[in-house]
Structures are given as C-alpha cells and as structure tokens.
Amino acid sequence: MGPEEAKLVLEDGSVFSGLSFGAPKSVSGEVVFNTGMVGYPESLTDPSYWGQLLVLTYPLVGNYGVPGTEKDSFGIEANFESSGIKVSGLVVSDYSFEHSHWQAKESLGEWLQREGIPAITGIDTRALTKRLREKGVMLGKIVFGDAELGFSDPNERNLASEVSCPEPIVFGTGKPVFAMPDLGAKNSIVRALLKRGCSVIKFPWNYDIFNGRFEFDAVFASNGPGDPKKCAETAGTLAKSMEYGFPTFGICFGNQLLALAAGADTFKLKYGHRSQNQPCLAVGSRRCYITSQNHGYAVDEKTLPKEWKAWFRNLNDQTNEGIMHESKPFMSVQFHPEASPGPLDTAFLFDEFVKLAKGAKK
C-alpha cells in the first residue's frame, strides 16, 4: 500500500495535492517558505516556526535523514534547536524515501510520524512560493480525506508563551551571567554564550527577573514565534532592564521586543525572511554580512526614538536588521548570529555582547 493522498489548501482557495510522508493528521496554520538548501533538522525544531506550515523551496528533502538526540557537553540537544519538532506541518517537492548519512538514526518521515507532525510531498513548491510572494503569507491547512477543518491564525495567540520554559533553568557556572527571557530560545543561542565561558538563566517569558531570586550581569531576549506585541510583559522586562542599566541584547524576536521597549513600533512583513543567505549592511559602512534569518515581523526604524539608531539593514528590501542605543549597552539584531543552519559570518557579535556584559557598570 502506497503513501496516503493529502491536500494543502490555502485561504485564497488554492489547492495543492500530494502524498503524505508524515503523520496522517489534518492541521491548519500560517503557510511560510524557507529558501535554505540544508538544515531541516534545525529548522523543524526551531520554536520560531511554532504554529506554521513550513514550505521548503529546495526540491530534495530527507536525503540525509535525521540525527540522534544525544546531548552536548552542556547537556543541550546537540543536533536540534529544541526538544521535539515545532512546525505544525511540512510541505516539500520531492521527499527522499531513502536516506544516507553517517549520523542518521532514522528517516525524516519516521521522525515526523513519531512526533505526530503531518508532511506532504509532490507539491509544486515553486508555484506555491510564487503565490506566497505575490499575495503574502496566508493561512492554510493540510487535509486528509473529507476532514472538516477551518483556517486558524496562530498570530492571534501569544505563541511565545506556548514555547517558553515553565520555570527558570540555569546553564553553566561562568561569568558573566545572562538572564534570558525564553520566548522560544534556540539551543544554539544558549550554546554560543556557554562556549564563551558565560552562564545563562532561562526564564519563563513573563517572569519577574528582578524579584531578587537570581543574580545576573546582563539581559538577553531570545528568538521566538508570532507577533511581538503579544508579549508586552517581556517588553516591559526589557524596559526595566534598560532603566536599571543592565547591558541588554536581543536576537530576532528579541530585537523586535527591544524596539517596543524603547518606544518604537513593529509591523508584519508581506512574506518574511526565512533563509540562510540574507545580505545585511552594517549601517554607516560598506560592510555586508550574509546572515541566517527566520522572522515574519520587523522593526519600523522610522519610529526609533531619539538616542537610538539603525545598526543593520537588509539589502534585499531595506528593512531594519538591528538597532543600537547611541551611548548605552543596549542593542539587538534581527538575524541569527548563531546560524544553525547557515553562515557564521556574524558569530563575532556574541564576543561583542560578552565583552560589553563583562565591562558594564550598572
């Protein structure tokens, strides 16, 4: 018996028919695309994809299988960005039912089925991506048989609260110590700080980190899914961090929240940036970095208040890719310096963050 038939249905009425290679479960979510050529184990476990149906534009997917769940020396999953798959569903053009890689422990299909995540192959992902680029990301659903399923917009929920840790978790014993409101933090961000001799305390997204229970030297807002305006409490935490003079940093979702905390505004992009080759210019220079990205919202840099400036800018669409206070140790970037997957051109930013955290006087 061959693979079961399934359909991807978009809210504009478009229907794409294919074959299932994941769990035979109908789901709905926001349909987004990623143009990266590799890295599906990392992408599928990235909490920033929570609530989304992920379309991979690179045609062949699954050919190197899925690695194991072993931990690194810090006790963190070595091959994944979180514990378990975070996408709601996966859409590809050509799934490789046969895989080969020395690290592979199972096939992509077996992993998806075990985690209860639907996936569909045989889709014209080029035509699908062109539609999403022209009309913008839209709601969609993967449907099996005659299943009745409506469209639901995950961005109406506080998605970050759904992927945040339930209680504080301490990693490492070094200095400086970073307090990290967990909005869906990737393992690689925590690992990048630990590798530099730091400690990280992950907190629930709405935890009062200033209640006196923990000592730390700097505040680091993580990546995460959804609309940053749903996380007003975290923005309030960052505002308080800056008021108290703590070095304050952010990546991706954290960049947007730092902007909100400073008094700026954010907006939803037409179809977002999800790839491993986004060119970003360091503002005021001619230096361009190739960056890994995964976000659907951006900072409106025209709304940045006095004493704040744009730090990086996307050369594809000129949207903001980072902000910086002109005189205080408050800064953030929209892209992912830790990559995973992608280029490590901007990994040096972690060194700068750590140096500022070590030298700042609160």
Residue pLDDT, tens place only, 48-87: 999 999 999 999 999 999 999 999 999 999 999 999 999 9
Candidate CATH numbers 3.30.590.10, 3.30.70.2740, 3.30.365.10, 3.50.30.20; the one for domain 5-156 = 3.50.30.20
Q: pLDDT value at position 359?
A: 85
**What is the rounded distance in angstroms from the CA atom of residue 134 to the CA atom of residue 132?**
6
With a CB cutoff of 8 Å and minimum separation 6, the contacts of 102 are: none
Q: Is residue 362 pLDDT above 60, yes or no?
A: no
Q: Is 292 left (phi over 0), alpha (psi -120 to 50) or beta?
A: beta
- pTM > 0.75: yes or no: yes
Instruction: Reply yes or no on whether 280 is catalytic.
Output: no
Sign of dihedral through CA atoms 255, 258, 260, 262? negative
CA distances from 83 to 17, 79, 86, 206 (A): 31, 10, 9, 21
pLDDT digits (tens, 9 = 90+) for 183-192: 999 999 999 9
Structural domain boundaries of the chain?
5-156, 160-359
Catalytic-role residue among 30, 77, 301, 338: 338
Catalytic-role residue among 198, 231, 252, 280: 252
**What is the rounded distance in angstroms from the CA atom of residue 201 to the CA atom of residue 209?**
10
Catalytic-role residue among 273, 295, 325, 336: 336
The dihedrals phi and psi of 42, each to the nearest 5 degrees, come to -70, -45
Mean pLDDT of 236-262: 98
With a CB cutoff of 8 Å and minimum separation 6, the contacts of 110 are: 66
Instruction: Reply yes or no on whether 336 is catalytic.
Output: yes
Instruction: Reply yes or no on whether 77 is catalytic.
Output: no
**What is the rounded distance in angstroms from the CA atom of residue 66 to the CA atom of residue 58?**
17
C-alpha triplet 144, 149, 152: angle, nearest 5°: 125
CB 210 within 8 A of CB 170: no
**What is the rounded distance in angstroms from the CA atom of residue 278 to the CA atom of residue 291?**
5
Domain 160-359 is found in CATH 3.40.50.300 = no
* Averaged pLDDT of the chain: 97
The dihedrals phi and psi of 110, each to the nearest 5 degrees, come to -65, -40
**What is the rounded distance in angstroms from the CA atom of residue 53 to the CA atom of residue 47?**
13
